[in-house]
Amino acid sequence: MKWLNLSKRSNELNIGRSFTWPEMTPQDWLMEFISLTGLVAMFAFTMYHYSKLPATIPVHFDYYGNPKEYGSRNQVWIIPGISLLLHFALPIGEKFLQFRGTPGFLRRVHTQSQFNMRVRLIRYTKMIVILGLFYISVSTIRLALHSGNGIGIWFAPVFLALILIPTLYYHLFSK
């Protein structure tokens, strides 16, 4: 039962802790620029090719990059819509919500530098996910227009590695 008392005590100590959002470094600005450029390019590519798309397009791919399910051509807007929401969720949170964190989060993040690393990890992950969604969107449109042959077997492992390696780095070296 001693661990229960220590847990309660750590929660009591962390109640008033808050962190300030880190200043944007040149690397942060570059990640935001790449995310925004990928988002604009995705919408432009989709708008340009939308009228040329057939009535049914591939909407889901298996692990090997082959089309698995087909749907209406209007579903081509789902991925750009998700990317748009993802791109603007973090800045809205930065500007309008004061971050205090939950007790569980505060037990894992003890310093401002750990919090800064976590925010940068979120920005990096957002950039990688938007670029991955851009590639999926372009591959879907190219496959529907018969000028491409799917996502490719390499996409899933590379995409997962680009997400998991920085996350592991954060968990190993943010102590």
* DSSP assignment string, 15-57: TT---PPPPPPHHHHHHHHHHHHHHHHHHHHHHHHHTTS-SEE
Asked if residue 4 belongs to a domain, the reply is no
Asked if residue 56 belongs to a domain, the reply is yes
Asked if residue 68 belongs to a domain, the reply is yes
Asked if residue 156 belongs to a domain, the reply is yes
Residue pLDDT, tens place only, 109-160: 667 777 778 778 888 888 999 999 999 999 999 999 988 887 888 888 899 9
**Number of domains present in the structure of the chain:** 1
Q: Which pLDDT belongs to residue 77?
A: 95
Distance CA 51, CA 74 (A): 10
Asked if the model's pLDDT at residue 170 lies above 70, the reply is yes
Q: What residues make up the domain containing 154?
A: 25-173
List C-alpha distances in Å: 89 to 27, 56, 115, 162: 19, 31, 18, 21
Distance CA 97, CA 144 (A): 41
Mean pLDDT over the full length of the chain: 80
Asked if residue 137 belongs to a domain, the reply is yes
